[in-house]
Structure 1
Amino acid sequence: MNGADLLCDALLAQGVELCFANPGTSEMHFVAALDRKPKLRCVLGLQEGVVTGAADGYGRMADKPAATLLHTGPGLANGLVNLHNARRGHTPMINVVGDHAAYHLVHDAPLTSDIDTLARPMSKWQRRIAGAGTIAEDAAAAWRAALELRGPATLILPADAAWGEIAAAVPVPVPAPVPPAPAAEALETAAALLTSGRRCGLIMTGRALRADALETAGRIAAATGAELYSQMSNARMERGAGRVPVTRIPYPVDQALALLGHLEVAILVGAADPVAFFAYPGKPSRLLPEACALHRLAAITDDLPGALSSLAEAVGAGRATPLRAQRADPAEGLPDGALTADAVCTLVARRLPENCIVVDESVSSGRVFYKLSASAPPHDYLQLTGGAIGEGIPLATGAAVACPDRKVINLEADGSGLYSAQGLWTQAREGLDVVTVVFANRAYAILQGEMRNVGVNAFGRNAERMLSLDEPPVDWVALARGFGVEAARATTVEEFAKLFEGALSTRGPFLIECLT
């Protein structure tokens, strides 16, 4: 047995069943070990951002970590963008980053880099493996950290630790961490604030946005008059008809200030103090009123459903009836004629299949979708958590791997999708049931809006060329087909409706380019 074999066994012992990979020379012993461990499924990504984004999607839906396999510092660097999103989304994953043999580092070979420093900002936990003998302990620690700290844990695997021979061993699984309950004082204060008669909002994220926890939050709202909000970006929400609806704090600063401006009390359930995504001249960074009292009931690493249950008991909400979203008429308000972004959002919201997974990276094109889909059939909603665009296609890929029996619908902005279009190849190779809807406005429309937000309303040639994608236009149908994914283009509402219905009725990846 060598260290790489032991690492595979240690991951399997902790229930890690999947490795998203883009390996290189330093990881060949680990690749060989994976070949000897068929229970640990390997999924290849053509670029490391696809690998880490897919692991994020998998972790959000499986509620447990996948492993990633990345090649030295440059490979890790390519994947950092979606490790950033995973860290912000509190998604558990275990990154295995190969490095040169320890004795080779002194020679400063071309791929030598400071992997430890590269990994630190995007990891909740990291460790460099000292040798083959510590690998089982290191892998168990990484698994526990990924779950306990809610985020990426990174193991740096020197090549000589991977090939180092050791006595045969059977790793012993360690128990899963149990999230703590909120402090009694925090619970008492929250209950007192909710029953004080002041205008109060619960701002939630993480597992507080699952259906059962939202049912409890709905009872609290019914009993106390509190309003339910989610923070601006959330890893996963269970929503739709029959479930308790939550108002998401919007991205535009003025809208967020108007939404929250009446609150006198805000209780945070796993969420952070709401702040603007960016600073703008003359506008505040914090989105709550200055006079609003802020109280943290529970941190993201706490037992959020349990915290809500205890709070419901404390305010006497046990028999309260929560408000639930009502199912919309699928035929109500359907558009026709020219295809617009709002028309696409309306049709998708009206045609969502029950129990599907929606991955929303539509950016500016899909701002109406969240409200429209509140009354759609029950579904899971995944969105960009860290603001680093280019995760939609990988996120949908990982979600489809985690839930092969569920349809995944990826609402994708064209500019964002081009960061990681290679993920379509993985969808084709694995036969994943993903429908990708591309909003092809052939521009970085979100950035055009941001230019206006900072007072620049007239764009010159340089700005136009940096913010447009139409010289030449990207052919998404040809691009998808080149990666092995069936695709078609829609220019009218009728064309899109027909293509979308067809994609929903068949299995496998399909892409629709919507010229909006």
Structure 2
Amino acid sequence: MNGAGSLLRTLTGAGVDVCFANPGTSEMHFVAALDGVPEMRAVLALFEGVATGAADGYARMTGRPAAVLLHLGPGLGNGLANLHNARRAGTPVLAVVGDHALTHAPLDAPLQSDIAAVAGSVSGWVRHSASAADVGTDAADAVAAALRGQVATLVLPADVSWGDGGRVAPPTAVPDRPVAGPEALREAADALSSGEPTVLLVGGDALRAGGLAAANRIAAATGARLLAETFPARLERGAGVAPVARLAYLGDAARHQIGAARHLVLVGTRSPVAFFGYPGKDGDLVPDGCAVHPVVDGSGAAAAALEELADLLSPGTTAETAPAARPDLPTGELTVASAAAVVGALLPEGAIVVDEAITSGAGLPGATAGAPRHDWLTLTGGAIGYGLPAATGAAVACPDRPVWCLQADGSAMYTISALWTHAREGLDVTTVIYHNSAYAILRAELAQVGATGGPATAGLLGLDRPDLDFTALARGMGVPAERAGTAGELAAALLRAAAEPGPHLIEAMVPSPA
């Protein structure tokens, strides 16, 4: 057996049975070995950033890694933005990066690069396989490393891949996730029951239904303000799930939410900071004089910690859950508000919502709070171009659930080729492109930093000249598409998409911000 065969068989034996791929010459033996390992599903992406984002979306929904196959350092570099998002989400991703043959590397061929240095910027674990005999063990260790909630990168030289002597390795044991220690739990309980203004900020697996129920019980018993991290990797929400508001993206709004808290209890998340530094503003969102009480970080058992705290502080209580409620279907012009109401009115039960709507999604949390139970995936690391790829991975992970990708127009163009993969794989992804012809978030940031500009500035923040035609782009890649200019047209298009199998795209023509 060659090295590539032992790699694939070790991966499938460890439960990794999907590989999102954009391969090149150095990976050809891996590609050829797929025919001998039918347990591995290979999904082609036309750009590495689609492959890495799909692996992230897949892992968020399954809790286990997909492999992502990349070509040398430049291929890894092309996929880096969505590996950054995966790192910030704490999702398990296994990157297999082909390298030049060990005998060829000293020649400094045009694609030679320092793969380990590139990988190290986003990976918690990196290993370079030295021989075909090592590949199986290396692959098993890589899976175990990814399952700790990080990007694990295995570099596979071409001659190691084609070389004989490969051996399948059994799965490597994965340590249990870190749990909250008794001192941290007692300190948090004391803070929450102190009677002083307290904020309970939660993230990680605390944002599933069980963790949210426990957090709701704690907040009800203690009067603490409950907030979720700004950009959760996966948030369960909707009717029947305990509700939670998210910490605002804008620093001033987040400071208002935290208020004059004297205690900040962190369960499954980091201490909050502003996304960017602004003139004259402190980037640390913790108020002066506020004590921070970390219980367990995002890689730990956050939901379990909240359940322990709830049993300490509010034994025998039950959580208050969100009631079933939907907005009425709006009519008339299509605005950010009416588009959100349409989504809230029609979101199907069990949906997976991948949200990269950016500014056009401002009304979505309120409009969907009482919709049937669903999952919400967000842009954890701020590197745009995540939505369409993550929807790809979520749809592969959960083929029995509808995926709605709510996508801003500018960020869509980063990874628009994901639509081709949606069509090729027949994925049940309905993409709504919020077409406002602007990088609206950058217009807002221009004001936030106190800068002003003229025509040259405006030219870098607009998406016109020429106007983008997303229906034509989608149809050109095999995805049925239509344009909606009113709230009624958006609703009708969403209902048509729901009634047909496979992918669809709806171009929602929302007003351009001032």
2: CA distance, partners of 1:56 / 1:266: 30
Structure 1 residue 75 corresponds to structure 2 residue 72: no
Report the alpha carbon displacement of residue 330 of structure 1 after superposing the two structures with TM. 4.3
What TM-score do the two structures reach when normalised by structure 2?
A: 0.97
Q: Note if contact 1:220-1:320 (Cα within 8 Å) is conserved in structure 2.
A: no
Q: Note if contact 1:222-1:321 (Cα within 8 Å) is conserved in structure 2.
A: no
Q: Structure 1 counterpart of 2:218, which letter?
A: I
Report the alpha carbon displacement of residue 401 of structure 1 after superposing the two structures with TM. 0.4
Secondary structure of the structure 1 residue equivalent to 2:349:
coil
Q: Note if contact 1:70-1:96 (Cα within 8 Å) is conserved in structure 2.
A: yes
Q: Structure 1 counterpart of 2:82, which letter?
A: N
Structure 2 equivalent of residue 388 of structure 1: 383
1:291 pairs with one of 267, 289, 292? 289
2: CA distance, partners of 1:262 / 1:368: 27
What TM-score do the two structures reach when normalised by structure 1?
A: 0.97
2:325 pairs with one of 317, 324, 328? 328
Unpaired runs of 5+ residues, structure 2, are none
Structure 2 equivalent of residue 17 of structure 1: 17
Secondary structure of the structure 1 residue equivalent to 2:341:
helix
2: CA distance, partners of 1:420 / 1:452: 28
Q: Note if contact 1:221-1:322 (Cα within 8 Å) is conserved in structure 2.
A: no
Structure 1 residue 301 corresponds to structure 2 residue 299: yes
Unpaired runs of 5+ residues, structure 1, are none
Q: Note if contact 1:218-1:322 (Cα within 8 Å) is conserved in structure 2.
A: yes
Report the alpha carbon displacement of residue 20 of structure 1 after superposing the two structures with TM. 0.3
Q: Note if contact 2:479-2:503 (Cα within 8 Å) is conserved in structure 1.
A: yes
Structure 2 equivalent of residue 319 of structure 1: 316
* Greater Cα shift, 370-379 or 115-124: 370-379
Q: Structure 1 counterpart of 2:209, which letter?
A: A
2:402 pairs with one of 400, 407, 427? 407
Structure 1 equivalent of residue 355 of structure 2: 360
The correspondence of residues 209-248 of structure 1 with structure 2, limited to 5 A, is 209-248=207-246
- Structure 1, residues 141-172: CA drift from partner, whole Å, max 9, x if none? 11111112x111000001111011016x4422
Q: Note if contact 2:136-2:169 (Cα within 8 Å) is conserved in structure 1.
A: yes
Q: Note if contact 1:219-1:319 (Cα within 8 Å) is conserved in structure 2.
A: no
1: CA distance, partners of 2:259 / 2:206: 23
Secondary structure of the structure 2 residue equivalent to 1:122:
coil
1:348 pairs with one of 318, 343, 349? 343
Q: Note if contact 2:178-2:296 (Cα within 8 Å) is conserved in structure 1.
A: no
2: CA distance, partners of 1:503 / 1:111: 43
2: CA distance, partners of 1:452 / 1:312: 42
Q: Note if contact 1:222-1:320 (Cα within 8 Å) is conserved in structure 2.
A: no
Q: Note if contact 2:92-2:146 (Cα within 8 Å) is conserved in structure 1.
A: yes
Secondary structure of the structure 2 residue equivalent to 1:424:
helix
Structure 1 residue 444 corresponds to structure 2 residue 442: no
Structure 1 equivalent of residue 504 of structure 2: 510
Aligned length: 510
Q: Note if contact 1:261-1:288 (Cα within 8 Å) is conserved in structure 2.
A: no
2: CA distance, partners of 1:31 / 1:397: 21
Structure 2 equivalent of residue 165 of structure 1: 164
Report the alpha carbon displacement of residue 85 of structure 1 after superposing the two structures with TM. 0.4
C-alpha root-mean-square deviation of aligned residues, in Å? 1.2
2: CA distance, partners of 1:400 / 1:15: 18
The correspondence of residues 136-155 of structure 1 with structure 2, limited to 5 A, is 136-148=136-148, 150-155=149-154
Secondary structure of the structure 2 residue equivalent to 1:56:
helix
Q: Note if contact 2:29-2:161 (Cα within 8 Å) is conserved in structure 1.
A: yes
Structure 1 residue 256 corresponds to structure 2 residue 251: no
Aligned identity (percent) is 52
Report the alpha carbon displacement of residue 287 of structure 1 after superposing the two structures with TM. 1.4
The correspondence of residues 169-184 of structure 1 with structure 2, limited to 5 A, is 169-184=167-182
2: CA distance, partners of 1:131 / 1:121: 25
1: CA distance, partners of 2:69 / 2:102: 19
Report the alpha carbon displacement of residue 506 of structure 1 after superposing the two structures with TM. 2.1
1:431 pairs with one of 426, 429, 434? 426
